[in-house]
Structure 1
Amino acid sequence: MYKIVINLCFLTTLLNVTLLKMTKFSLLFVFASFCLFTGGTSSLPTNDKPGPLWIIQMGNRDNLPNSPRGMMISHNSVDSTNPYQLMNDKMIDYVNSQTRKNSLLPLEELNGNYYYFVKYFKTNFFKAMQFCKENGMDLLSLETGEEYMAIVSYLKKHYPKAEHIWTSGTDAGEEGSFVWLSTGRSVNFTSWGAGLPDNSAKIEHCLEIARTGVENYYWNDRACNSEYNFICELRE
């Protein structure tokens, strides 16, 4: 007989743990189809297949770089037709969404993607990369024109005075061949200003979103040690 075992104490902990602020510790919880605890459990008979192995991993962002709060939940089951699997997947989605909503940084959701707009201080390209990584994110890469227009629309509405915004684009590896350093992918669309990139003084190797006038946004190459605002993004 296949058993789905539900530990009520575990579920209560699961729904509340997203409210915790993670510190410098790392815990590993394993919730298998046979419950580790006796209290608050029930079983439903189905068939003989082993159930999914549940894993909740909590720790600092160095250990769990893909989580803004140092928490990750997953299981090893891959049977998408199993109704219990679907229930499991919905619970995972819920916990992960709560993790994002309760990030230590105020994330903005644009078209299903999550961003942190660094408005209140400026730094160079490399320290911007470091800041994003330390907070479980990546410096902005622009994969589509739609994503770029969503970013520009947000800047126009909420941060109209921003003139220089770092992205993760760079041609430091090969002059003229820009890649998104956060993903390693080549830049597959462009929105350069007229005559750009120009590698002025032979030192401009990092890609910014620049603004001139009221609403004229465009890409520009700049010296990587220039200090600008920047945008971090949370990758799924």
Structure 2
Amino acid sequence: MKFLFRKTARPLGTVAVGIDAAAVTPNPCPDGFVNFSMDASTPVCLKFAMYGKGTWENQRAFCKTLGADLVILEGNLHDQVVEYINDHEYMTDEGFWIGGSDAAQEGHFVWVDGTDMPMGTPHWYITQPNGGTAQNYVGLYTPDFYFHDLNNDKKIYSICQI
């Protein structure tokens, strides 16, 4: 399957070439987090947690130890994350848990903050969700990085968000 998301610009940090370092805006995110913000006033700090693979529940607990939670990928942020993954070759063969689940009510997917997840395109893979009660958790999965409901015991990496 070919990557179908459009390419979008995203700020990954600041590079100062021939600029006074004092004039450069520092990354507002904690160390190890990448700022995906579209403007300086609202940082969107994400960490691609690739220390070890785990289930959705294990990875959510890990994010919480960082003062974060699994990422909520709405709107253009999904495009930005997919582009980031595709720009980092070591990530392109991996899957990542995100903050969506229908564990509380089968077929009703919600984000970790309790808000409803958008269903269908452009976020979900065309045949997804399709796993019933054996697949209650949502991940970005190779090769397309659309939303997929995955087996409850699947062990993959995660993306944490502050």
TM over 0.5: yes
**Pair 1:185-2:111 in alignment:** no
Deviation by residue 1:59-82 (Cα, 9 ceiling, x = unmatched): xxxxxxxxxxxxxxxxxxxxxxxx
Q: Please state whether the residue corresponding to 2:142 is helix, strand or coil.
A: strand
Structure 1 189/145 Cα, relative in aligned 2: closer, same or farther at 3 Å? farther
Structure 1 132/160 Cα, relative in aligned 2: closer, same or farther at 3 Å? closer
Q: Output the CA distance in 1 between the equivalents of 2:147 and 2:63.
A: 21
Q: How far apart are residue 127 of structure 1 and its match? A: 1.1
With the length of structure 2 as denominator, give the TM-score of the two structures: 0.72
Count of equivalent residues: 130
Q: How far apart are residue 163 of structure 1 and its match? A: 2.7
Q: For the pair shown, which has the larger CA radius of gyration, 1 or 2?
A: 1
**Partner of residue 106, structure 1:** 32
Structure 2 matches for 1:216-231, cutoff 5 A?
216-231=144-159
Structure 2 matches for 1:105-144, cutoff 5 A?
105-111=31-37, 112-142=43-73, 144=74
Deviation by residue 1:96-150 (Cα, 9 ceiling, x = unmatched): x97955x3x41101123111111231111111111111111111111x2201001
Q: Output the CA distance in 2 between the equivalents of 1:225 and 1:166.
A: 12
More helix by share: 1
**Pair 1:148-2:74 in alignment:** no
Deviation by residue 1:161-210 (Cα, 9 ceiling, x = unmatched): 343110110001111110012x111113542212211116x410000101
Q: Output the CA distance in 2 between the equivalents of 1:195 and 1:188.
A: 15
Deviation by residue 1:1-47 (Cα, 9 ceiling, x = unmatched): xxxxxxxxxxxxxxxxxxxxxxxxxxxxxxxxxxxxxxxxxxxxxxx
With the length of structure 1 as denominator, give the TM-score of the two structures: 0.51
Q: Output the CA distance in 2 between the equivalents of 1:176 and 1:99.
A: 38
Q: Between the two structures, name the one with larger relative contact order (CA 8 Å, sep ≥ 6).
A: 2
Residue number among 127, 138, 145 corresponding to 1:195 in the alignment? 127
Percentage of identical aligned residues: 25
Q: Output the CA distance in 2 between the equivalents of 1:121 and 1:196.
A: 26
Q: Output the CA distance in 2 between the equivalents of 1:131 and 1:160.
A: 19
Unpaired runs of at least 5, structure 2? 1-24, 38-42
Q: Output the CA distance in 1 between the equivalents of 2:85 and 2:44.
A: 15
Which residue type is aligned with residue 77 of structure 2? E
**Partner of residue 233, structure 1:** 161
Q: Please state whether the residue corresponding to 1:211 is helix, strand or coil.
A: coil
Question: What RMSD in Å do the two structures reach over aligned CA positions?
Answer: 2.1
Q: Output the CA distance in 1 between the equivalents of 2:36 and 2:147.
A: 20
Structure 2 matches for 1:1-236, cutoff 5 A?
100-101=28-29, 103=30, 105-111=31-37, 112-142=43-73, 144-158=74-88, 159-181=90-112, 183-188=113-118, 190=120, 191-199=123-131, 202-212=133-143, 216-234=144-162
Please say if residues 155 and 162 of structure 1, whose CA atoms lie closer than 8 Å, have aligned partners that are also in contact.
no
